[in-house]
Structure 1
Amino acid sequence: MRTYIGNHQVLNAIEFEELAIGFDELPVGLDHDLFRGPLTPESPEERAARETVAREVIAELAAQGEGGDEVAAWDALYADALTRTVPFLRAARSAGRSTGTEAVA
């Protein structure tokens, strides 16, 4: 079975994500995990460091956008939106955990 988005055949999962969202790719060297977090657990120190770097990268892209680089401006918006997402696999794993708010029968 083949998958198409528009008139483009999707060949892998990354390409599907990029086409479905509407962005071709992040700038060279940038990783989705930097902005949304890894699929595996991370320590509070690792998370703080990752979020600090992500904020700096977003600020740099936004500054480039304000300087007239339209692609950098869109990349900044996309990267910022990624910071508000949770990878599906991580969300699915945590859904099985008890939050302690369930009603007791």
Structure 2
Amino acid sequence: MRSYIGNHQVVNPAEFEELALGFDELPLGLDRDLFRGPLAPETAQERATREAVAREVIAELAALGEGGDEIAAWDALYADALTHTVPFLRSADRAAGRSFRAGMAA
């Protein structure tokens, strides 16, 4: 089965996300999961570490933006916005009353 968005054929999940949501990859190969959190459960220590690194990356991008790099400034805004989102699968589980912890114990 082939998938199309507009008149573009989608060949992999990353391309689907880019075409469907209208944004390109983050700079320097950064991973969205760094800012929004992974779909899989993470420990409190993993979460704290991930969030600390994300804050540092956002601060570096913002500093580059203040230095005149317009793209870095936009990337900082985008990365910061991702920190306020929840991946769809995780939010759907919470809305249905399921939690990752309960699912792991079962």
Aligned to 2:89: 89
Runs of 4+ in 1 over 6 A off after TM superposition: none
Aligned to 1:3: 4
**Structure 1 segment 16-27 matched on structure 2, within 5 A:** 16-27=16-27
Report the Cα offset of residue 95 of structure 1: 2.2
Identity of aligned residues (%): 73
In 1, Cα distance between the equivalents of 2:97 and 2:49? 26
**Structure 1 segment 17-96 matched on structure 2, within 5 A:** 17-96=17-96
Query: What is the root-mean-square deviation in Å for CA atoms of aligned residues?
Result: 2.0
Contact 2:5 2:20 in 1 (8 A): no
In the alignment, residue 66 of structure 2 is paired with which amino acid?
Answer: E
Report the Cα offset of residue 16 of structure 1: 2.4
Structure 1 gaps, min length 5? 99-105
**Number of equivalences:** 98
In the alignment, residue 32 of structure 1 is paired with which amino acid?
Answer: R
Question: Matched residue of 2:5: which SS?
Answer: strand
In 2, Cα distance between the equivalents of 1:64 and 1:93? 38
Report the Cα offset of residue 94 of structure 1: 2.1
Q: TM-score, normalised by structure 2?
A: 0.78
Looking at CA atoms only, which structure, 1 or 2, has the larger radius of gyration?
Answer: 1
In 2, Cα distance between the equivalents of 1:77 and 1:44? 25
Structure 2 gaps, min length 5? 99-106
In the alignment, residue 4 of structure 1 is paired with which amino acid?
Answer: I
Q: TM-score, normalised by structure 1?
A: 0.79
Contact 2:36 2:83 in 1 (8 A): yes
More helix per residue: 2
